[in-house]
Amino acid sequence: MERVRSRLMLSAFALALGITAVPLQAADQQLTPAQQQFLEIAKSLKPRSGKVALPEARVSLDLGDKYEFYGPTDARKILVDIWQNPPGAAEGVIGIVFPKGGSPLSGSWGAVLTYEDTGFVEDSDAADADFDTILSDMKQASEDSNAERKSQGYPPMHIAGWAEPPKYNPQTHSVVWARDLLVEGDQVHSLNYDLRTLGRSGVLSANFVAMMPDLASIRTAAADFAQHASFDAGARYADYDASTDRKADYGIGGLVAAGVGVAAAKKLGLFAILLKFLKPILLGLAAFGAGIARYWRRLFNRRAE
């Protein structure tokens, strides 16, 4: 299994090295038309480091020289044009963060950032949320959606389980969970690692996309990245004013349910929220990582389309 993943990642690194180790003109001459197309897209991206403001979320990123941020326009190019996700994958995305030196073509992890204006999410249910039931419903939702996925040209996806069960940190007002996903045709399981940080009026989401063997490193990366993103003064969780602010219709359990599947959210009475909150599971937008693996296999191990 690890050898298969290594071939996929080595293919990615081979392209990245071809870009950086030789002059671009020479590298261009060595690429197939399909590879050339992805290279041109990558060369058009404009990453930023240092301090980045996300006014739509009232969040500030202090990335220093450790991370690089790609804005919404670049994020769409990455998700749709390079990683070959459906166009809907880019809706609501306010940016993508990569570790310094990483890129959409390097095989490194990327954190897809979104913000949902949910209102204040109360955390009093965090200790009592039934995450086992949510997992069961999430699996059923995935299986129920596979016929629709196939009809739209996407392979069936199966939920193997929690790679990391949901856990709430009351000090940072953040919740993390990770899903172990298997897309038919892929020999390596994909990893979706979610970090949600609660603010006064909404939730900042960072969805880390990688492969299951990367779980330990992604866990460390997510914990570190959380220290580089914060709500601005007046928008923090502690700034909530019960006399004036809108409160969400759900707590931590509902936040997780709405983030992992239709069936679970329906059972919690959240279907109306799903239309603006959930990235639809039937399009496989929960499987960005699997999309990366399929992309590399298709690009390098099959004839270029």
Q: What is the pLDDT of residue 246?
A: 96
Over residues 1-26, the pLDDT tens digits come to: 222 222 233 233 333 333 333 333 44
Q: Report the range out of 31-40, 121-130, 152-161 with the highest average pLDDT.
A: 121-130
Give residue 260's pLDDT.
Answer: 60
Q: What tens digit of pLDDT does each residue of 246-264 get? A: 999 889 988 888 766 433 3
In the structure, what pLDDT confidence band is assigned to residue 234 with cuts at 50, 70 and 90? Answer: very high
Range of weakest confidence among 59-73, 74-88, 229-243:
74-88
- Name the percent of the chain lying above pLDDT 90: 41
Strands 190-198 and 67-70: unpaired
The C-alpha angle 162, 163, 165, rounded to 5 degrees, equals: 55
The dihedrals phi and psi of 208, each to the nearest 5 degrees, come to -85, 130
| Buried b / exposed e along 147-157 (16+ C-beta atoms within 10 A) | eebeeeebebb
pLDDT of residue 29: 53
Position 296 pLDDT exceeds 50: no
Instruction: Tokens for 65, please give them.
Output: 């020289």
Give mean pLDDT, residues 27-40: 72
pTM for this predicted structure: 0.75
